[in-house]
C-alpha cells in the first residue's frame, strides 16, 4: 500500500527571520516612526504579538508582517488574523496565531475534498496530520492534485510518500 501524510508546518527559523525583518522595517518607516510597542514573536506559544497606540497602526503592522512573511516564502494563510484587538494600558494589542498542524475542522475539509473527488484513496485523521493511502501511486498523485486545487484555507505540505 502506498501512502503519504498531509501536514501543515511553518519553519520556525524562517518565521523568526520574517519577524526580525518586519521589526527593521518598522524602525525605518516614516509614518510609524514614533510608534510605541512593535512586533514580538513568542516561539513557545507559536504566536506573534502586535502592539501599537491605535487600530490604524495595528493594521499597518499587520501589512508589514504579512509582506515580510510572504517574501520569506511562508504562505500567508498560515497566520490567523481573526483575533480581536484588545486594549492593554495605553496601547492596543493583537495576537496572531501561527497555524501549525491540521486540526479537526481542516482535517474534515481535507477528507471531504478527497472523498468528493472520487479518487480511489482512503484518508484518515491522525493527531495533527492526515494519512492518505491507496494501492497505486498514481491515485495518490491524483489526490495531491485535487488538494492543490481545493481551497482548504490552510497551507498544506505532502510528506512521507511511501510506495
Could you report the per-residue pLDDT of 72-110, keeping only the tens digit for each?
A: 998 888 888 888 888 888 889 999 999 888 888 888 888
Q: Kindly give the parts of the chain with pLDDT less than 70.
A: none
Domain ranges within the chain, ordered by starting residue: 2-8+101-162, 12-98
pLDDT of residue 123: 86
The CATH number of 2-8+101-162 is 3.30.70.860
Domains 2-8+101-162 and 12-98 share a fold: yes
pLDDT of residue 66: 92
d(CA 21, CA 70): 12
pLDDT of residue 56: 87
pLDDT of residue 70: 92
Query: What are 133's strand-pairing partners?
Result: 3, 122
Q: Which residues contact 15 (CB under 8 A, 6 or more apart)?
A: 41, 69, 72, 74, 98
Query: What are 124's strand-pairing partners?
Result: 131
The residue ranges of DSSP E strands in the chain, in sequence order, are 2-7, 38-42, 47-52, 79-80, 86-88, 91-98, 122-126, 129-134, 157-162
pLDDT of residue 18: 92
> Which CATH number is correct for 12-98, 3.30.565.10, 3.40.50.720, 3.30.300.160, 3.30.70.990?
3.30.70.990
Query: What are 39's strand-pairing partners?
Result: 50
pLDDT of residue 48: 92
Asked if 1 and 149 touch (Cβ cutoff 8 Å), the reply is no
pLDDT of residue 21: 93
Amino acid at each position: 500500500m502506498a501512502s503519504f501524510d498531509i501536514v501543515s508546518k511553518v519553519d520556525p527559523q524562517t518565521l523568526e527571520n520574517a519577524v526580525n525583518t518586519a521589526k527593521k522595517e518598522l524602525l525605518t518607516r516614516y509614518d510609524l516612526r514614533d510608534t510605541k510597542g512593535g512586533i514580538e514573536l513568542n516561539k513557545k506559544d507559536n504566536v506573534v504579538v502586535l502592539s501599537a497606540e491605535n487600530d490604524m497602526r495595528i493594521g499597518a503592522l499587520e501589512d508589514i508582517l504579512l509582506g515580510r512573511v510572504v517574501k520569506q516564502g511562508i504562505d500567508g494563510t498560515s497566520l490567523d488574523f481573526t483575533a480581536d484587538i484588545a486594549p492593554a494600558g495605553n496601547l492596543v494589542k493583537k495576537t496572531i496565531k501561527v497555524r501549525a498542524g491540521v486540526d479537526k475542522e481542516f482535517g474534515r475539509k481535507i477528507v471531504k475534498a478527497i472523498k468528493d473527488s472520487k479518487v480511489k484513496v482512503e484518508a484518515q485523521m491522525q493527531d495533527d496530520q492526515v494519512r492518505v493511502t491507496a494501492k497505486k501511486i498514481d491515485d495518490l498523485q491524483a489526490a495531491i492534485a485535487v488538494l492543490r486545487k481545493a481551497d482548504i484555507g490552510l497551507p498544506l505540505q505532502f510528506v512521507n510518500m511511501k510506495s
